[in-house]
Amino acid sequence: MIYVPSRMGQLNRRALLRQLQKLGVASRAELAKSLGMSQPTAGKIVDELIEVDVLEEVALPLPDAGEHDGGEAVVSQLGRPGRRLRLNESRAKFLGIQLGVKTTTLAGLTLGVADADHWPVAFDLAEHTSAPAKVWEKKLHAAAKALETENFLGVLLSVPGVVDEVANRILFSPNIHWTEEIDLAAIVRRVWDAPVLLVQEERALALGHQLTNPDCEDFLLVDFGEGVGGAVIVEGKPLANALPISGEIGHTPVPGNLRPCGCGAVGCMETLVSRRGLLESFASGQPDRDHSWAGLGEQISRHGIPAWLAQALDAAAAAIAGALNVVGLRRVVITGSLTELPPMVMAHLSRAVLNGAMWARFGQVECISAPRRRTAGLVAVGIDRLVVPDQKQNHFNTPKESPPKNSKLVSKQFTTK
């Protein structure tokens, strides 16, 4: 964990890191100017972060002598090549874990923003595994051996359901109930001796989208997959909630829907438009056809959107439009399985959302599809809570350690057990 000597120093570091996340690469002078910070202050922060391997310098090639730009010759500069800064991309600083209903995936994550999610290590749990927590821990130990990097600043665990990130606990997980009664962080710490942060998966996706699209500061993200969940970003930050629950849009009841949901209710919207729900409807309507996800896509491409799918999409759109009307947003970002189907599916959903969104009567409402950027969101949480943590709040169950007095900066890394 990295400690800072003062709250002002901490805030300056956070601001500088967030700015570099947006810019990708920048010089010391560019960072200072963009933040309204003095160059000596920015330079001191940069030097400290380079010392603990959070930032790295990259050399920029100089133009060749005689090279032309706009018709005029460019004279090569003398001296060393220019050097700029970026978040460390040379080696993994965090371990990312994505917990799914059946599959768990792992990846070493650098501090730089990746172009796309990549999870090189994965393992499955059988659907009716007895003692799933013990089996999961055993497979986690095996997965640890497959990862090349062993030293991490922390482990970032993306989990579904109702998550109390302050207490580092899953309170309720409709599709993975076994996680509700165990201490997932403690299990992970038995494999890696490192701080562990549980991050609600939709929040990670929303933070990742905002980080990779810095101009998109206000939006509702809705992810369709094993379930349906959402997260709200306002002014570039997750919407603050009084309770550790938000974005449970998939559990909006749909009149006439009699399907039981993993949450214990009947008729939740996600039972219709989750991946499983869509395949269930597809199979019941076409008993003699290929009932795979690819088969569904082919059927839509050939024959258009069937009535059952149109009704399911309309139900999802009504819930999304209701959320926009309540929170006061005009942009929806859709990720996940619906974006994998033919474009006419997203087009239908978008039209239905606009029909129900009040702001569409006065201005523009956007409904766009985007790739999942879970790893970027996890890294954003890791930087915010482990690299430059808020010392005034104890957000997570991380090891209770006090910074050495008068220290400039302290970095601690942890290893696989």
Q: Which tokens is 46 given?
A: 């940069």
Phi-psi region of 267 (alpha: psi -120 to 50; beta: other; left: phi over 0): left
Kindly state whether residue 407 falls inside one of the protein's structural domains: no
My answer on whether 42 and 177 are in the same domain is: no
pLDDT at residue number 180: 94
Kindly state whether residue 72 falls inside one of the protein's structural domains: no
Q: From residue 228, how far is each of 222, 224, 334, 336 by CA, in Å?
A: 7, 5, 11, 9
Q: What's the one-letter identity of residue 120?
A: P
Kindly state whether residue 278 falls inside one of the protein's structural domains: yes
My answer on whether 13 and 44 are in the same domain is: yes
For residue 347, the enclosing domain spans 214-369
Cβ of 413: how many Cβ atoms within 10 Å? Answer: 15
E strand segments, 88-227: 94-99, 103-109, 121-124, 154-159, 162-164, 169-172, 196-200, 219-224
pLDDT tens track, the chain, 417 positions = 444 446 777 888 888 998 888 888 999 999 999 999 999 999 999 999 998 889 999 876 544 544 444 444 444 444 445 578 999 988 889 999 999 999 999 999 999 887 789 999 999 998 777 899 999 999 999 999 888 666 789 999 999 999 999 999 999 999 999 999 899 999 999 999 999 999 999 999 999 999 999 889 999 999 999 999 999 999 999 998 888 888 999 999 999 999 999 999 999 999 999 999 999 999 987 766 778 999 999 999 999 999 999 999 999 999 999 999 999 999 999 999 999 999 999 999 999 999 999 999 999 999 999 999 999 999 999 998 998 886 554 444 444 333 333 333 434 455 556
Name 364's Cβ contacts closer than 8 Å, sequence gap at least 6: 330
The Cα 341–Cα 344 span in angstroms is 8
Q: What is the CATH number of the domain that holds 220?
A: 3.30.420.40
Split into its structural domains, the chain has a count of 3
Q: Are 196 and 1 in contact (CB under 8 A)?
A: no
Q: What's the one-letter identity of residue 226?
A: E
My answer on whether 190 and 332 are in the same domain is: no
Q: Is 404 helix (H, G, I), strand (E, B) or coil?
A: coil
